[in-house]
Amino acid sequence: MNELKPAGMRVRDLEKQLEELDTAQNRLLLAVAYKDAGQLDRAETMLTQTRQGIYKNDPHVTYDLADVKFQMGKLEDARELLRELVDVAPEELRGKTRLLLARAVQAEQPDEADALFQRAISSFSGEEARYWYAAFLIAQGKRDAAEAQVKTLERNVRRASGTYRYQQREWLERATKLLK
């Protein structure tokens, strides 16, 4: 139910909750709320603190911290965390980890990024990975390959259930705009 509240309200509620009961779990919930609200400095601080306790090796905390650092433009820090995680992440996090790492290395290591994007597509539920791969291919001057990825994305969405089409509409719209 908390997810339905606006981000600012969730942050206030979770700050109050943390004030009442300072636990690692409450810190983690607040860190994610900060991230969702775009308060990246606060999210980074909270996740860094949380990662030192019982969540030190927690893959979800590590991923969230890497994501925050990526969003802040701290690509080297994000890459370091993601490289720790990429081969040990649980199945449900593996595709997201590969995708974020591919995005973090694409400027400096395009060959590695290409391989990571392809692996992310095969382990990612949804079309986000395919969208980012197509965007990467366009940036690499490989428009034909990007068009093939967008066509596959369009076909996947068109053939899927109504729920899937609804969930993937953002990536379909963004992919269509990529080729214009």
Q: List, for residues 78-95, the tens digit of each pLDDT value.
A: 999 999 999 899 998 999
How many domains does the chain divide into?
A: 3
Ramachandran region of residue 126, left (φ > 0), alpha (ψ -120 to 50) or beta? left
Please say if the pLDDT value at position 1 is more than 80: no
Crossing angle (nearest 10°) for helices 40-50 and 59-71: 150
Residue 48 lies in a domain: yes
| Structural domain harbouring 170 | 125-180
pLDDT in tens, 112-128: 999 999 999 999 889 99
Instruction: Supply the pLDDT for residue 4.
Output: 64
Q: Which of residues 17 and 52 earns the better pLDDT score? A: 17
Q: Is residue 116 part of a domain?
A: no
Say how many residues make up the chain.
180
Quick one: 101 and 132 in the same domain? no
Q: What was the pLDDT predicted at 127?
A: 96
pTM of the model: 0.90
Q: What token pair was written down for 37?
A: 């609200």
Per-residue model confidence (pLDDT) at position 87: 86
In a shared domain, residues 51 and 61: no
